[in-house]
Amino acid sequence: MTTIKKTTQPEKNAAIAILAFDVASLDTSFLDAGERNYIITQNNTHQLTSFSFNKISHWVFVKIMPAGKEDHLLLEACRKAGDELQSEANKLQLPELTLVGAGASPAQVLACAEGVALGNYHFYKYFKKETDKKHTLTTLHLADEQVDDEQILTLQQVTEAVSKARDLVNEPVNHLNATQLAQHFKAMADDAGIDAEVLTRKKIEALKMGGLLAVNAGSVDEPTFTILEYKPKNPRNEHPIVLVGKGVTYDTGGLNIKTGSYMNDMKSDMSGAATMAAVVYLAAKARLPLHLVALLPATDNRLNANAVVPGDIINMADGTTVEITNTDAEGRLLLADALSYAGRYNPLLVIDAATLTGSAVRALGRYAIAAMQTKADGAMQQLTASGNQVYERVVTFPFWDEYGELMKSDIADLKNSGPAEAGMITAGKFLEKFTSYSYIHLDIAGVAFAEKRDSYRGLGGTGTGIRLLFHFLQHFDDEREEVRR
């Protein structure tokens, strides 16, 4: 992980990265007059925006940022510039880099630093010679007087939380079954000083969590249900915000088995649980004045003689009966039990995150999170605003009653799978049946895992959703009238 530090003056012969919004603001502190004129000429004539100079004793990198874009688009450009900088530094085997702003605001410098740190993430744990693969860049210095120590600490905490979630998502299931995942969540809780309880099969059976048990029926490994609770002194919210995450450590599809290459990234089907655990961990580290609870049901979805089959009818924790029409629509079953459990807290708001449907991927690709809400108009507005700010964008889909009608069964209260059309919405409507409170559903199937490297989001687990929810919680205002609607 990249260590981020503040510095008042770059050390002599330090590698320098200049984030420039105004070419004219480039001075000769780090560049000589010829280099400065070259940048100006090339930028004006050929619109070149990236430059590097070998000063023999050190390197100087210059990134010219675009002008005229909206603020949140400029911040995203800064993050991407940061990712480019870490890539150049690692290619040159540089251990440290000092970031300097030239006409850049503190927020833009921090965004660039975020891009450096997140882009510098790597998962090389299972290479025979891991040291040969590791990035050389370990430290980023920020030479900007306007950026304070608290902002740097928060940024460090954010990148640490995202890295922890990415590590979990990138772990293969033979090293991370439900029990091992719960152990990781417990270790994160211990590190952050928050309460953690791991429910095992006996307690899950006592709670009659038929959805979680049905998905687990084909597995040789035990299911778990982890509860994380962060409650600071004098929290601003009288009733907790509850975060629910899908923790399917591997999804074969069950008897409706996935075909071809559709199983290749199914170790990432626990991304929702990793996301929500990381959010609570981060909130505790940053000492947000909010009472938060995370509910994290976990199992793998495999096949053996006891696996649930299409046509089975199961009983959920709240007594609802569900006809199984597709064993590959398993995530909603364990989420439904968790959403029922969330009602025990009389929550102010419940948000779930899950790699739930291929429909969300087909609708939005890797560019946005599919979202739905009930009784949470104002909170959704805040979440959408946060999504734009951190560039983990949210698209709200309709939650009309007609979609819920598609989930009715002829022989049970509900069926677990609807028609192919609008699958992300019908999945959300299934989950809504188990709620009685303000509720937001986030389908992160398209954004949780990158099969090809995606700038600072990296390759493999992206941790998308953590920065979104943390920004939302940082700015959450439950006193606003529209949030309470």
pLDDT of residue 345: 98
3-state SS assignment for residue 20: strand
Q: Are the C-beta atoms of residues 65 and 21 closer than 8 Å to each other?
A: yes
Average pLDDT along the chain: 95
All domains of the chain, ordered by start, with CATH?
3-147 (3.40.220.10), 159-484 (3.40.630.10)
Active-site annotation, residues: 258, 332
Query: What predicted TM-score, i.e. pTM, was given to this entire model?
Result: 0.96
* HSE value, Cβ hemisphere, 13 Å, CA-based, for 95: 1
Q: Which residues contact 15 (CB under 8 A, 6 or more apart)?
A: 58, 59, 60, 61, 89, 92, 94, 96, 97, 98
Other C-beta atoms lying within 10 Å of the C-beta of residue 67: 10
3-state SS assignment for residue 182: helix
Burial per residue of 459-471, b for 16 or more beta-carbon CB atoms within 10 angstroms, e otherwise: bbbbbbbbbbbbb
pLDDT tens-digit profile of 261-280? 889 999 999 999 999 999 99
The arithmetic mean of pLDDT across residues 14-28, rounded, is 87
Q: Are the C-beta atoms of residues 462 and 447 closer than 8 Å to each other?
A: yes
pLDDT of residue 483: 45
The token pair that represents 74 in the structure block: 């400029």
Query: Which of 88, 172, 93, 160 lies closest to 126 in space, CA to CA?
Result: 172
pLDDT of residue 485: 41
The token pair that represents 135 in the structure block: 């990035």
Phi and psi torsions of 19, nearest 5°: -100, 105
Separation CA 483–CA 462 (nearest Å): 29
Which pLDDT band holds residue 24 (cuts at 50, 70, 90)?
confident
The token pair that represents 280 in the structure block: 């609570």
pLDDT tens-digit profile of 432-462? 999 999 999 999 999 999 999 999 999 999 9
Supply the DSSP symbol for 475.
T
% of the chain exceeding 90 in pLDDT = 91
Which pLDDT band holds residue 111 (cuts at 50, 70, 90)?
very high
The arithmetic mean of pLDDT across residues 139-144, rounded, is 96
Query: Which of 476, 13, 33 lies closest to 236 in space, CA to CA?
Result: 476
Which pLDDT band holds residue 163 (cuts at 50, 70, 90)?
very high
Query: Which of 461, 482, 287, 451 lies closest to 384 in space, CA to CA?
Result: 482
pLDDT of residue 131: 67
Q: Are the C-beta atoms of residues 248 and 334 closer than 8 Å to each other?
A: yes
